[in-house]
Amino acid sequence: MKVYHARNTRSLRILWLLEELGLPYDVEIFDLGAPEMRSEAYRKVHPMGRVPALEDGDVVLHESGAIVEYVLARHGAGRFVPAVNDPAFPAYLQWLHYAEGMMMPQVNLIMVETRFLPPEKQNPTNLARAQKLLAKSLEAVEGGLDGKAYLAGDFSGADIMTGHACHAAESLGIPMDTRPNTAAYVARLRARPAFAAALAR
């Protein structure tokens, strides 16, 4: 397998998952926004010139949630996914999709407003709204972690997805001092050897 990656993006999820599974992979690392990402050759891999993208033989995927589900289904050997009759399965599905539905749109907006736009084009109203919505989305995570180390009981693909979004939120300065469950959760995820290995790549 080959992963196309840029630092501080969703593609960290894919490296992290492959490290957790102990699967061999190659990685091509872009500087975010590099001209190579907009090249004709790369657009055949990812039509929008973004990351992540995964090549696995003849299979090419370029949506992080789909890649996580694909890798777990095809290469996970039952790891990190509750069985469909497991009581944890509904929670697994919810948190697997929560990151992209509720959290990452706000992360994207904060990143654009604070790191990519020049000061004269930044919109403080948009930034404040995104920060407020991202903080609010963490309230559900905080409740979902009551009495649990991970979102669906055992560590799972849901933690790769929503756990990464929590990591991103904390990295962007969303305060965790009133969210002890989430603060401990993010620390727990960052302490996993596979997470550290993914960062090191």
The mean pLDDT values, 10 residues at a time, for the chain of 201 residues are 97 98 98 93 96 98 98 98 98 98 97 94 97 97 98 97 98 95 98 97 89
Which runs of consecutive H residues, i.e. helices, occur in 76-192?
89-98, 104-111, 124-144, 157-158, 164-171, 180-190
Question: In the chain, what is the straight-line distance between the N-terminal and C-terminal CA atoms, in Å?
Answer: 15
Residue 54: φ, ψ to 5°? -125, 130
Could you give the maximum distance between any two Cα atoms of the chain, in Å? 54
At the top level of CATH, which class does the domain 89-192 belong to? mainly alpha
The C-alpha atoms of residue 26 and residue 170 are separated, in whole angstroms, by 29
pLDDT reported for residue 33? 86
- For the chain, what's the residue count? 201
Domain 2-79 and domain 89-192 have a common topology: no
pLDDT reported for residue 136? 96
Q: CATH 3.40.30.10: does it fit domain 2-79?
A: yes
- Assign residue 17 a region (left: φ > 0; alpha: ψ between -120 and 50; beta: otherwise): alpha
The C-alpha atoms of residue 86 and residue 79 are separated, in whole angstroms, by 14
Burial bucket for residue 117 (CB in 10 Å: 0-12, 13-18, 19+): middle
Q: Which two tokens stand for residue 187?
A: 């620390």
Torsion of CA 156, 158, 161, 165, to 10 degrees: -110
pLDDT reported for residue 182? 98
Question: Domain coordinates of the chain in residue numbers?
Answer: 2-79, 89-192
